[in-house]
Amino acid sequence: MQAAYRPIRVALLGAGSVGSQVARLLIENADELASRVGTQLELTGVAVRNLDSKRDSDIPKELLTTDAEGLILSSDIVIELIGGIEPAKTWVKLALSSGSDVITANKALVAAHGPELFDLAEQLGAQLYFEAAVAGAIPIIRPLRESLAGDRVDRVMGIVNGTTNFILDRMESTGADFDDALAEAQELGYAEADPTADIEGFDAASKAAILASLAFHSEVPVEKVYREGITKVTALTIETAREAGYAVKLLAICERIQTESGEGLVARVHPTLIPLEHPLAAVRGAYNAVFVEAESAGQLMFYGAGAGGAETASAILGDLVSAAKRHVAGGPGLADSVHANLEVLPIQSITTRFQITLQVRDLPGVLASIASVFAKHEVSVETVSQSAANAKTSAILTVMTHAASEADLESVVSELESNSAVQNINSVIRVEGI
């Protein structure tokens, strides 16, 4: 044990599933945490909206308070677990302004207002920790901030939303269509009554913005993250993919892009085909995983639970021990530099492979007509396979391209839409991990 140091006062904002677990661990493991930190961590209070709400936790009643501001101002470290932008943002700013360190699991807040909050923290010598904001229990923020600090990250591809991974996994394993898999996820508590934030990719986009800003030391506004949800993925999409040797995953992809004027970055969230033998394809159920490609380290993957009260609490406690040790001993903390300042480019800047599925008229010369559209826009086709559609006069074409620019592919799709032989463009899916 180190020399005596006064207890560190810890305030908790929110007593939901994560907050309850954090409170429990702080109380049950007080001695163990004290020996890891070098002094006691004292839970001084838990701010809640309503003292009388029913809770599934054993937080001692005397710790509950509705006076969040008073609690914040009398603490050394504030753990923000209320989520959403307000009042979380106001309270985090109040805490940082009063010199407290802040630990948050709030990806929406970090993605939308990270730069403002980090600036404020830096001016005041306080720290903002957010390991729990991306991929729950998986330590990914710390490796990006520290372990890879001497390397150059080229690409991050993550399954960062457990709800959509669960839905896609169920669709794949049972053949269910999207609506049924969503209903099952809702019954099991993996999806909310209003699932928009998950299935439309908003949650994953927040995490993509955070991952991209850390990986590339640049400011990445969440509005500049390209976003496409999974609502258009059908059982047929998944079956077709599987037959061709691919899994369909909602990926958050952040990559460094070489441009004529230098370097930029693209962050994007969309359903993606990845080869079945890729490590990300084996991530089942509601699990999360983040795959990182760095210049020297090569390929790394971090895998674990992406949500859950206890799991997220583990990440919060890890940050808490770091913050508390820094209170005891001082030190550099985790300033998030945006020194590289890469420009966030639109998705048209990327180069990738595409699978396009088309319903076409089953007439002689159609294939040649379609192929010429790809050729005209310099998109090279690797394979075309044809299968019969329902109507006798239609066929389904599945086209896999070689690497092509998104911009060129958009031109192809636009021209296919007006091609008289094309009855419908069933899907256009990017292919990664080859």
Residue 339 sits in the site that holds a copy of itself (CB under 8 A): yes
Helix (H), strand (E) at residue 135: none
Candidates 87, 90, 286; CA nearest to 181 is 286
For residue 390, count CB atoms less than 10 angstroms from its CB and return exposed for 0-12, middle for 13-18, buried for 19 or more.
exposed
Residue 321 sits in the site that holds a copy of itself (CB under 8 A): yes
Nearer to a copy of itself, 224 or 326 (CB): 326
Residue 27 sits in the site that holds a copy of itself (CB under 8 A): no
CA–CA distance, 217 with 146 (Å, rounded to integer): 12
Candidate segments 165-173, 177-185, 289-297, 384-392, binder of a copy of itself by CB under 8 A = 289-297
Candidate segments 57-65, 177-185, 258-266, 329-337, binder of a copy of itself by CB under 8 A = 329-337
Candidates 87, 143, 221, 275: give the one binding a copy of itself (CB under 8 A).
143
Residue 304 sits in the site that holds a copy of itself (CB under 8 A): yes
CA–CA distance, 1 with 35 (Å, rounded to integer): 6
Candidates 6, 7, 30, 36: give the one binding a copy of itself (CB under 8 A).
36
**Binding residues for a copy of itself, how many (CB under 8 A)?**
59
CA–CA distance, 64 with 160 (Å, rounded to integer): 32
CA–CA distance, 257 with 264 (Å, rounded to integer): 5
The amino acid sitting at 26 is L
CB neighbour burial string for 51-80, b if at least 16 within 10 angstroms, e if fewer: eeeeeeeebeeebbeeebeebbeebbbbbb
**For strand 77-80 and strand 8-13, is the pairing parallel, antiparallel, or unpaired?**
parallel
First CA to last CA distance, the chain: 51
Candidate segments 86-94, 130-138, 343-351, 377-385, binder of a copy of itself by CB under 8 A = 130-138
Residue 308 sits in the site that holds a copy of itself (CB under 8 A): yes
Candidates 8, 10, 317, 358: give the one binding a copy of itself (CB under 8 A).
317
Nearer to a copy of itself, 136 or 229 (CB): 136
What are the tokens at 373? 């559209």
Residue 137 sits in the site that holds a copy of itself (CB under 8 A): yes
Residue 139 sits in the site that holds a copy of itself (CB under 8 A): yes
Candidate segments 167-175, 253-261, 308-316, 386-394, binder of a copy of itself by CB under 8 A = 308-316
Candidate segments 53-61, 331-339, 348-356, 393-401, binder of a copy of itself by CB under 8 A = 331-339
Residue 39 sits in the site that holds a copy of itself (CB under 8 A): no
**For strand 351-361 and strand 394-401, is the pairing parallel, antiparallel, or unpaired?**
antiparallel
Residue 299 sits in the site that holds a copy of itself (CB under 8 A): yes
Angstrom distances, CA of residue 388 to CA of 358, 359, 362, 370, 392: 11, 9, 9, 17, 8
> CB of 428: closest distance to a copy of itself in angstroms?
30
Give the residues lining the site for a copy of itself (CB under 8 A): 1, 21, 25, 29, 32-33, 35-36, 131, 137-139, 142-143, 146-152, 217, 279, 282, 294-305, 308, 310-311, 313-322, 325-326, 328-333, 337, 339
